[in-house]
Structure 1
Amino acid sequence: MVNIREYKNGDEKGIIPLFNQVFDTNRQEDYWHWQFMENPAEKPIIVVAEDDSKVVGQCTLLPSKMTVKGEEILGGQSIDTMVSNDYRRQGIYEKMAFTSYDMGIERGIKIRFGFPSKPALQGLLEKLGGTLIADIPLYLKVYRLDNFLASIIKLKFLSKILAIPGMLLVRLIYRETKINIKEKYEMKEIQNFNEDFDKLWDRIKIDSPIMSNRDSKFLNWRIKDHPNIQYKTFGAYKDGELKGYMILKVENRKVKGKFDIKLGSIVDMIAINEDVILGLYNKSKEYFKDIKTDLVVCWATDSMKYKDLFMKLGFFKTKSEIPFVVKDLIGNNELENLIIDERNWYIMPIESDIY
């Protein structure tokens, strides 16, 4: 008989192999420990399904401090939800999820949020009472085409020749508007997030009705100490004061399983105004070009404050979308009305555990 219970020390010895089996990957224990045990927000909610001392399922709420209308609350992101193939269609996922909700409420978590896969989305909405806030569009900018074409043509010299008219066509269709920066900023590469970022966060956190906290503790855990990803962060300073930052990620990816590209992502960006964002993007653009990045992507909901700027910079909306789902756990009508309105959220990939 399957038993649903709270995580206990040592369960990761069963959780990690199950994760690797279900998601066909090779997660290591150091990553799991960083993700769940080093999170500076709060102790995680981890619910497991166990059959005869064997972990056969898991459901989690990873705590996240959030500022909602100027008030700090605790949210919980649902990640790494899984059930062993042999135990599916038995209602185990639903039992784990509702148990995690009850535990979350006891520990002060007021909302649940997540970025479910498309296959998991319908069940989440119908069975667990979540609300789809947005399908977050992915915006893309083409930096170069020769590497992509080389994957198809195989003749390097020919791919370089064809890339020239290809890029001219891209630039003609998705024109980049020349925008002058109004101020002069000192751009610094950030190795460690210090009190400058706390001061910036205190200034920024009321700019949007709902934002996940971006203080130095969170950024050092999420970005600097990430065990698998090396991010690049640029900070914009004026008169010695941090005015904004942009966090980047670059990875080698296969498109449709066969085309090798170097893909850049804008993982996070906050600033006191659009001019600072423009300066940070120009610095990031230099970096992307120096390391020969092929494509760069960013998230932008319909109401995202910098969406129009990035479209002017040559980014265009793709067909790729990331579902964003939330649920009010405490039955507060005022809170629910806030969180189900996409216009209230400032959402970036830093919120998602896959970036």
Structure 2
Amino acid sequence: MANIREYKNNDEKEIIELFNKVFNTNRKEEYWNWQFMENPAGKSVIVLAEDDSKIVGQCTLLPTVMLVRGEEVLAGQSIDTMINEDYRGKGIHKELANKSYEIGVNNNIEFRFGFPSKMALRGLLGGIGGSFVADIPLFTNYYRLDNILLNIVKIKFLAKILSIPLHGLIKFVYKEQKIKIKENYIIKEIDEFDEDFDNLWNKIKSDSPIMTKRDSKFLNWRIKNHPNIDYKTFGAYLDNELVGYIITKIEKREIRNNPNIRLGSMVDIVGINEDTVAALYFKAKEYFKSQNTDLVATWASESMQYRGLLVKLGFVKTRSTIPFVVKNLTENQDLEKFILDEKNWYIMPIESDFY
């Protein structure tokens, strides 16, 4: 029987070893320290299963400060859940999860949230509680179709020729509109998030009933200090005042059996209005195209305030979705009802640990 306990100093070496084995990857200690030890929201909940002095499982809650109905509360994101394959099916996951909830409550975490894989979703909702909030749709905009068509046509110049009318057809069918920017914004590349971002947060924090606190501390940790990803951020200024920003990244991804697709992601979008967001998107589009990006993707839930604008800009709702689940860790039934309503959330990829 595995012993369930909290993290102790120097456990990380064995945790990383288990992670790399379970997920067949090569995570480094630098990333683990950034994620679990440097988070400005506070101490992470890390619960481990140990058998014969060997770590065989883990559940975590990564603290996140959120604004809920105008008040700051602490939430915990469940990430890096794993069980050694020799110990699966023994109820260890449930024990780990329940212990993480217990410690989370002691750490003033009011609810848990996560973006589980579709395979993990059924077990999560059945065995260890939690409720399904929504499938967050993925929206995409195709910039270059020739690279994608290569998988079908196989001949590069023919794929390029065929991509031209096909791209025009997509624009016609999905009615990409021309949008004129009303204000004369100055768009700057952002290297560090300063007090301008704190001021912007104070302006937009009431735009949605539930939002992750997007202040300079969070953004510097999550974006600037990320050990593995080189994000590109653009800020929009009007009369020397920051009025919005967009965070992007580009990566190679295998899509439709083509391993060389250049995928752009809009990781976060914040603005005081649609005009600001449109101006930021056009700057991001310019950057994406300069880097030969094939397509761009982002999240847009049913209640996302700029979803209609994204459609006007040529983004198309795909069949791909991201499951979003929450679990109330308090006795407050009003809170539970509130966090279970998808319409209350402003959720973007920046919330997830896999962007």
TM-score bucket (shorter structure): over 0.9
C-alpha deviation, 1:170, in angstroms: 1.5
Q: Which residue of 2 aligns with 1:211?
A: 211
1:148 touches 1:259 (CA, 8 Å); kept in 2? no
Measure the CA separation in 1 of the matches of 2:50 and 2:257: 35
Measure the CA separation in 2 of the matches of 1:31 and 1:233: 21
1:252 touches 1:263 (CA, 8 Å); kept in 2? yes
Alpha-carbon deviations, 1:134-160, whole Å to 9, x = none?
Answer: 000001111111112234434222221
Structure 1 residue ranges without an equivalent (≥5): none
Measure the CA separation in 1 of the matches of 2:320 and 2:76: 25
Measure the CA separation in 2 of the matches of 1:217 and 1:257: 39
C-alpha deviation, 1:258, in angstroms: 3.3
Q: Which residue of 2 aligns with 1:122?
A: 122
Measure the CA separation in 2 of the matches of 1:149 and 1:308: 28
2:6 is equivalent to residue 6 of structure 1: yes
1:130 touches 1:327 (CA, 8 Å); kept in 2? yes
Alpha-carbon deviations, 1:268-308, whole Å to 9, x = none?
Answer: 01111111001101111111111111110110111111101
Q: Which amino acid aligns with 2:94?
A: E
C-alpha deviation, 1:259, in angstroms: 4.5
2:93 is equivalent to residue 93 of structure 1: yes
Measure the CA separation in 2 of the matches of 1:257 and 1:101: 40
Structure 2 counterparts to residues 266-345 of structure 1, below 5 A: 266-345=266-345
2:65 touches 2:212 (CA, 8 Å); kept in 1? yes
Q: Which residue of 2 aligns with 1:164?
A: 164
Q: Which residue of 1 aligns with 2:72?
A: 72
1:43 touches 1:63 (CA, 8 Å); kept in 2? yes
Alpha-carbon deviations, 1:78-122, whole Å to 9, x = none?
Answer: 000000000000000000000000000001000100000111101
C-alpha deviation, 1:13, in angstroms: 1.2
2:63 touches 2:74 (CA, 8 Å); kept in 1? yes
1:46 touches 1:59 (CA, 8 Å); kept in 2? yes
Secondary structure of the structure 1 residue equivalent to 2:73 = strand
Structure 2 counterparts to residues 5-154 of structure 1, below 5 A: 5-154=5-154
Q: Which amino acid aligns with 2:60?
A: T
Measure the CA separation in 1 of the matches of 2:278 and 2:165: 28
1:151 touches 1:260 (CA, 8 Å); kept in 2? no
Q: Which amino acid aligns with 1:132?
A: F
Secondary structure of the structure 1 residue equivalent to 2:176 = coil
Alpha-carbon deviations, 1:182-216, whole Å to 9, x = none?
Answer: 11100000000000000001111111110001100
Measure the CA separation in 1 of the matches of 2:321 and 2:281: 23
Structure 2 counterparts to residues 224-235 of structure 1, below 5 A: 224-235=224-235
C-alpha deviation, 1:350, in angstroms: 0.2
Secondary structure of the structure 2 residue equivalent to 1:281 = helix
Secondary structure of the structure 2 residue equivalent to 1:308 = helix
Structure 2 counterparts to residues 255-266 of structure 1, below 5 A: 255-266=255-266
Question: TM-score, length-normalised on structure 2?
Answer: 0.98
2:189 is equivalent to residue 184 of structure 1: no
Alpha-carbon deviations, 1:25-79, whole Å to 9, x = none?
Answer: 1111111111101111011000000001100000000000000111001000000
Range with greater deviation from structure 2 (165-174 or 120-129): 165-174
Runs of 4+ in 1 over 6 A off after TM superposition: none
Measure the CA separation in 1 of the matches of 2:325 and 2:164: 42
1:111 touches 1:330 (CA, 8 Å); kept in 2? yes
Secondary structure of the structure 2 residue equivalent to 1:235 = strand
Cα RMSD between the aligned structures? 1.0
2:253 touches 2:262 (CA, 8 Å); kept in 1? yes
Measure the CA separation in 1 of the matches of 2:149 and 2:340: 42
Secondary structure of the structure 2 residue equivalent to 1:277 = helix
Question: TM-score, length-normalised on structure 1?
Answer: 0.98
Q: Which amino acid aligns with 2:62?
A: L
C-alpha deviation, 1:246, in angstroms: 0.4
Q: Which amino acid aligns with 1:125?
A: L
How many residue pairs get aligned? The number is 355
Q: Which amino acid aligns with 2:273?
A: N
Secondary structure of the structure 1 residue equivalent to 2:46 = strand
